[in-house]
Structure 1
Amino acid sequence: MSSLLRKMLRTRRVDEQFLRHSEWARRLGIPLMVALAGIKSISMMLFIILPFSLTQVAGPSTVLALIFAFLIIFFTSAHLSELSCTMPNNCVQYHFAYAVIGELPAFVIAWISLVDYVAQAGLFCKAWADHFNLLFRGLPAKSLTFDVFSEDSSILSPQVDLLTVLSAVITLCLLLCSLRVVGTICVSLLAVTLLIAASCTMVAFFHSDPENWIKAEFFHYGFRGVLYSICGLCACYTGIESTSCLLEETKNPRKRISGVLSFLVLVLTTIFFVLSITFSLSTNVTALSEGIMIPEVFSVINIPAAKYMLSVCSVCALSGGVLASFLPATRVIAALCHDRLIPYARDTSTKSPYFAVLLCTVLVALCSMIQKTMLLNFVIFMAPVKIVITILLVYIQHYYPEQIGIPEETSSYKSIGKKRTRVHIDDGVSIDDSVSLVPQRIRRSEDDESEVSHSTFDTTAFLYMKATKMETERLQRRLEKEDIENENEECQPVLAKSVSQYHSMDQNQKKSSAKSKQKHAHNCVAEQCGADNDDDYNSQEVHLFANEEPELPFFSTFNSSAPRPPSPDVSFTNYYRSLRLLFLFCFFTSAFSTFLRNFGMPTTTCWLLSAGFLVIILIFTVNINRLQTNDYLYKKESKVTLFPTASLFSLFLLLLSFFGSIPTRTLAHLAVVFVTGVISYFLYGYRHSKHRRTACLVIENRYSDTADDDQYCPIIGLDTSSSSND
């Protein structure tokens, strides 16, 4: 049983190549990133969540719920920024969990995110079809809507609108283009949406009347309605959370992501606050019919021109929302396919995930058969679940006793990346850099992935001497070839120059034909480099730094059957204690929320029990704040302010809202998604995982049985602890 658990919790190796290299083309700048996140969040808020919250959930108290949702998202964006700067990869929650917790938890996180993103895309397509029919007065629905299922079904929709499938197909065609094209379309749609929405909001503002709040009763749906609305409004910020799935396609993500997320939270909250106040004051929202759309509010206040304009705005906004909602789902599919946890196609590891886009389109088209209300409830209650996952991962990062990801780099070390040389060690030594013309030896795909090169070298001096010699020969051949191509005359003997002189050559010169034959280029976080690697798991790259000379004074053999002992200065005691305290904090918070939901009454007993729960939660909060974090190990590029108080405060609000308002039916749907993910993992991912057979050279310290107490011996051996035995 322990062996099976160890295999399910196998982790991926986080090395320099995984953290800094990427096969994705970095096309997203700040404007495109803001457009993708903004159009998705605004369309979700204005045309999906806001009418649902005003008419069925919270009424005018939606404004109060928005304040609590803003506090949650504001602190959560800081957590997401820290994770993104630590591990700037697409689907950062999945990769971080894979590297720290294990394969099965990472797969479950990715599976939950994938189902949520597909449900969001299906919800956007259904909303787009509804507003498109509203714009053309129901004419398309007469010819494109068919009765398929029974009206008594609680899951399947009685009618299937082909407009939903049509929107998914159009999105498929657009996503096959460049990501920059998709971003440019979203920029245009966002500009149109903001202009029309601003004009219609001004019209509604001049028809606002505070008497409408009095008639509707501010807390018409009670305390539970406010909690429900908090979960729904957290889902409105889904565009911000989706940016974590596009980090490898963003330019300079570690420098920009923190400021962009904070800016988006403040701007979107301002827009949401104005919209919620204006439309809740313009009419008695509790008297409106269920399922009403925001443009139809102007029919109630008798302004048909504003209704038509806002209908046009809704079609534009939801079109951009459909486009933006497909992107994170395709990136999650590509990440799972790349790690071979689901059946994959070869092109998913490149910059154009055609297989992922096609699969996502099929899944979204199938969502057209599910009721819109079911999709909406699922998306609303998946939002706090994903936020809780993000906060928990950051919590683990702060108490894990070893360094995780990329630390903040000082200015002296940032320049090393521009001058470093990549050394390939594979039964010999060969040197190459980003402008090399010499073909590299690439391991054949049929080679066993668990095979490790056993090349050795006597001293560091020999390695540098060999590297310098081959670098000189390579640059000499390059100079001769460039003279032949540029001058188009008879080749003249070229005098050899020093290596330093070659480095002064223009890096922007025309690349040779051998360079143009590369399949794809790397996109590093620090700098761009070109490599002829067929795939990242076949690479034998080693980044050599001048200050990283290996020193192995003595060693002992590592036994793969025994557990790896931690270094003497690394203790997991504090880490495990932090996990226990966090579990108790979440348990009592959930119990407190459930108690208020089922037994909350204005009685003395209820007040005393509530006070007891709050005191217990406060005690755990104080104990967690007294724990020592691992911030002394390394300095993070982005750090959560007021950690862990801000994290615990966000967790308290999220768990209180989730367990205080979630319907039992939706909770059952979440359980089904979880169980389905676990079954899918064991059916395919467990046996076909890319990291099922991994081997690496382990060098670490442990106490020596024969040496003094203050002397440590490095352990050198082949770590195959994560590999499975057939």
Structure 2
Amino acid sequence: MGMFRTKSVDEIESDVDDEGSGSLRKQLGLRDLVGFGVGIVIGTGIFTLTGVQAKENAGPAVVISFVIAGVVSLLAALCYAELASAVPTAGSAYTYAYATLGELFAWIIGWDLILEFALGAAVVARSWSGYLADLFSLPPSLFTEEAPVNVGAVAIVAVLGVIAAVGVKESARVTNVLVLIKVAISVFIVIAGLFFVQKSNLVPFVPESVPAEAGGSTLDQPLMQAVAGIAPSAFGFAGVVTAAAVVFFAYTGFEAVANLSEEAERPAHDLPRALIGTLVACTLLYMMVAFVVTGMVKYTELDDSAPIAKAFDSVGAGWAGVLVSIAAVAGLTSVILVELVTISRIGFAMGRDGLLPKSVAKVSPRFGTPTRLTVGVVVFVALLGALVPLKELAEMVSIGALFAFLLVSAAVPILRRTKPDLERPFRVPL
């Protein structure tokens, strides 16, 4: 029975109030929470996914694909919003699983998310190093995939690790600055690109469906098509849905906001707004970039690796490539920082519950963060980023976020049944 023992909401709330090993400080306002959300969601995908999916699967209708993916993500975010506002504690999906499905599921999802975010941070750190090398012509032997030890990846993880350890408010300030840089550049690129949009490039908006082999899609047959016995196809409605399934992963990470609920000043008020606001803002930005890119260049001629830079090159505005690189470096930096903070909060919650050594849950009285755990996380991520090639890291990044979404979606009705009197400042409107 121990493996399936659940932890009551009363126990969870008691642990949050217990200052025996130190408490996380409630220092985050709505702007900080939205900053963390946008900081982790908007990476380089905004500059790369559009071109690939427009060219291979959806054409200009990739704009619709981003809408579909955004709506699906929003449904998951509503579940997080109800739980996080009612039970504002570190750990998010891990804690919700413990309260509803039992210790075994909590242990599995806790480790799943720790490894997911750690591998993700290492992947992003190596990508950051490569972008920095391109931007400043740094030696490939130290900063690219050619390097036996990727010095750039180690350096950025170490620097951001210090910020994460020093305090959540300091992490929020740095993240907000980075988000401002990448969003401002993205909006500027959209506005500048609108002057070069040609209506002819957007027609047909939804290209006619063709067999996947003929359409040039490099994706395997989608599960939905396989189950329904439909021949794999690119473009048309099936192509739009296929592209939506791919760009959906550009939205993952927003759950990091829920992991910070214990440090929110007004969790009941701010967490639902932060989760929903993050996804609305990111969806609008993705849509605008997708519209401009496919409007500037015919979707069949888009460059797979750098669609925005090449689109501006085609109209004689090569300066955009530099701006994209700057935005990418800022975007990747914020992703790494938020992931480091998120891992430490999940581990903190597991340590507090005894599923990790209790010592890792000790909060520094000076900084108000689990510094021991943060140092351990930084060392682990830095080693991965330094030594493991990008391709291998990317292949190891699992679909843990989807597993977390599933458990959180199940936790909402379970907790409503087992704890009907729990005050819920926000409820999923279904």
Q: What range is the shorter-chain TM-score in?
A: 0.7 to 0.9
Residue 326 of structure 1 deviates from its aligned partner by: 1.5
Contact 2:165/2:375, CA 8 A, preserved across alignment: no
Summarize the alignment of residues 213-362 of structure 1 with structure 2, pairs less than 5 Å apart: 213-214=202-203, 218=207, 220=215, 221=217, 222=234, 226-292=240-306, 294-343=308-357, 345-346=359-360, 348-349=362-363, 351-362=368-379
Contact 1:189/1:317, CA 8 A, preserved across alignment: yes
**2:409 pairs with 379, 388, 391, which one?**
391
Query: Structure 1 vs Structure 2: percent identity of aligned residues?
Result: 21
Contact 2:55/2:300, CA 8 A, preserved across alignment: yes
Summarize the alignment of residues 105-116 of structure 1 with structure 2, pairs less than 5 Å apart: 105-116=105-116
Summarize the alignment of residues 589-608 of structure 1 with structure 2, pairs less than 5 Å apart: none
TM-score by length of 2: 0.82
Contact 1:407/1:637, CA 8 A, preserved across alignment: no
- Tell me the amino acid that sits aligned with residue 335 of structure 1: A
Structure with the larger strand share: 1
Contact 1:235/1:380, CA 8 A, preserved across alignment: no
Aligned to 2:30: 30
Q: What is the rounded CA distance, in whole Å, between the counterparts of 2:382 and 2:86 in structure 1?
A: 36
* Pair 1:199 & 2:197 matched: no
Residue 375 of structure 1 deviates from its aligned partner by: 4.8
* Pair 1:103 & 2:103 matched: yes
- Tell me the amino acid that sits aligned with residue 171 of structure 1: L
1:15 aligned counterpart, secondary structure: helix
Contact 2:48/2:304, CA 8 A, preserved across alignment: no
Q: What is the rounded CA distance, in whole Å, between the counterparts of 1:146 and 1:69 in structure 2?
A: 31
Decide whether aligned partners of structure 1 residues 337 and 264 sit closer, same or farther in structure 2, where only a CA change above 3 A counts: same
**2:422 pairs with 407, 428, 433, which one?**
407
- Tell me the amino acid that sits aligned with residue 207 of structure 1: F
Aligned to 1:167: 156
- Tell me the amino acid that sits aligned with residue 359 of structure 1: G
* Pair 1:18 & 2:14 matched: yes
Q: What is the rounded CA distance, in whole Å, between the counterparts of 1:372 and 1:213 in structure 2?
A: 35
Contact 2:85/2:267, CA 8 A, preserved across alignment: yes
Q: Deviations over 1:600-647 (max 9, x none)?
A: xxxxxxxxxxxxxxxxxxxxxxxxxxxxxxxxxxxx3321112xxxxx
Q: What is the rounded CA distance, in whole Å, between the counterparts of 2:165 and 2:26 in structure 1?
A: 16
**1:639 pairs with 394, 417, 427, which one?**
427
* Pair 1:183 & 2:172 matched: yes
Decide whether aligned partners of structure 1 residues 298 and 32 sit closer, same or farther in structure 2, where only a CA change above 3 A counts: same
- Tell me the amino acid that sits aligned with residue 413 of structure 2: Y
Aligned to 2:228: none
Contact 1:69/1:231, CA 8 A, preserved across alignment: yes
Residue 14 of structure 1 deviates from its aligned partner by: 3.7
Contact 1:176/1:354, CA 8 A, preserved across alignment: yes
Contact 2:168/2:369, CA 8 A, preserved across alignment: no
Contact 1:49/1:233, CA 8 A, preserved across alignment: yes
Decide whether aligned partners of structure 1 residues 285 and 122 sit closer, same or farther in structure 2, where only a CA change above 3 A counts: farther
Q: Deviations over 1:327-380 (max 9, x none)?
A: 111111222222232345355455321222122223322433445456556658
Decide whether aligned partners of structure 1 residues 363 and 295 sit closer, same or farther in structure 2, where only a CA change above 3 A counts: farther
Q: Deviations over 1:187-221 (max 9, x none)?
A: 22222222222222222222222433459973654
1:25 aligned counterpart, secondary structure: coil
Contact 1:63/1:277, CA 8 A, preserved across alignment: yes
Q: What is the rounded CA distance, in whole Å, between the counterparts of 1:92 and 1:182 in structure 2?
A: 19
Residue 26 of structure 1 deviates from its aligned partner by: 0.7
Q: What is the rounded CA distance, in whole Å, between the counterparts of 1:286 and 1:162 in structure 2?
A: 38
Contact 1:216/1:286, CA 8 A, preserved across alignment: no
Residue 178 of structure 1 deviates from its aligned partner by: 1.7
Q: What is the rounded CA distance, in whole Å, between the counterparts of 1:49 and 1:379 in structure 2?
A: 18
- Tell me the amino acid that sits aligned with residue 43 of structure 2: S
Aligned to 2:72: 72
Contact 1:35/1:183, CA 8 A, preserved across alignment: yes
Q: Deviations over 1:393-445 (max 9, x none)?
A: 213223x3x316x722xxxxxxxxxxxxxxxxxxxxxxxxxxxxxxxxxxxxx
- Tell me the amino acid that sits aligned with residue 139 of structure 2: P
- Tell me the amino acid that sits aligned with residue 280 of structure 1: T
Summarize the alignment of residues 445-594 of structure 1 with structure 2, pairs less than 5 Å apart: none
Contact 2:129/2:143, CA 8 A, preserved across alignment: no
Residue 104 of structure 1 deviates from its aligned partner by: 0.7
Q: What is the rounded CA distance, in whole Å, between the counterparts of 1:33 and 1:198 in structure 2?
A: 21
- Tell me the amino acid that sits aligned with residue 407 of structure 1: L
TM-score by length of 1: 0.50
Q: What is the rounded CA distance, in whole Å, between the counterparts of 2:311 and 2:131 in structure 1?
A: 13
Aligned to 1:532: none
Decide whether aligned partners of structure 1 residues 383 and 211 sit closer, same or farther in structure 2, where only a CA change above 3 A counts: farther
Q: Deviations over 1:274-314 (max 9, x none)?
A: 11111122223444454437445433443222222222222
Residue 73 of structure 1 deviates from its aligned partner by: 2.0
Q: What is the rounded CA distance, in whole Å, between the counterparts of 2:125 and 2:338 in structure 1?
A: 12
Decide whether aligned partners of structure 1 residues 317 and 100 sit closer, same or farther in structure 2, where only a CA change above 3 A counts: closer
Q: What is the rounded CA distance, in whole Å, between the counterparts of 1:54 and 1:173 in structure 2?
A: 40
* Larger relative contact order (Cα-Cα within 8 Å, sequence gap ≥ 6): 2
Consecutive unaligned residues of structure 2, counting only runs of 5 or more, are: 210-214, 218-233
Decide whether aligned partners of structure 1 residues 386 and 11 sit closer, same or farther in structure 2, where only a CA change above 3 A counts: closer
RMSD between superposed Cα atoms in Å: 2.9
Residue 106 of structure 1 deviates from its aligned partner by: 0.8
Contact 1:283/1:301, CA 8 A, preserved across alignment: no
Q: Deviations over 1:698-721 (max 9, x none)?
A: xxxxxxxxxxxxxxxxxxxxxxxx
Decide whether aligned partners of structure 1 residues 354 and 274 sit closer, same or farther in structure 2, where only a CA change above 3 A counts: same
Q: What is the rounded CA distance, in whole Å, between the counterparts of 2:70 and 2:186 in structure 1?
A: 21
Decide whether aligned partners of structure 1 residues 272 and 280 sit closer, same or farther in structure 2, where only a CA change above 3 A counts: same
1:394 aligned counterpart, secondary structure: helix
Q: What is the rounded CA distance, in whole Å, between the counterparts of 1:121 and 1:56 in structure 2?
A: 28
Decide whether aligned partners of structure 1 residues 61 and 370 sit closer, same or farther in structure 2, where only a CA change above 3 A counts: farther
Larger Rg: 1
Decide whether aligned partners of structure 1 residues 133 and 302 sit closer, same or farther in structure 2, where only a CA change above 3 A counts: farther
Contact 2:28/2:265, CA 8 A, preserved across alignment: yes
Q: What is the rounded CA distance, in whole Å, between the counterparts of 2:309 and 2:149 in structure 1?
A: 23
Contact 1:57/1:226, CA 8 A, preserved across alignment: yes
Instruction: Tell me the matched-pair count.
Output: 396
2:166 aligned counterpart, secondary structure: coil
Contact 2:70/2:251, CA 8 A, preserved across alignment: no
- Tell me the amino acid that sits aligned with residue 14 of structure 2: F
Contact 1:215/1:284, CA 8 A, preserved across alignment: no
Residue 109 of structure 1 deviates from its aligned partner by: 1.2
2:356 aligned counterpart, secondary structure: coil
Residue 145 of structure 1 deviates from its aligned partner by: 4.2
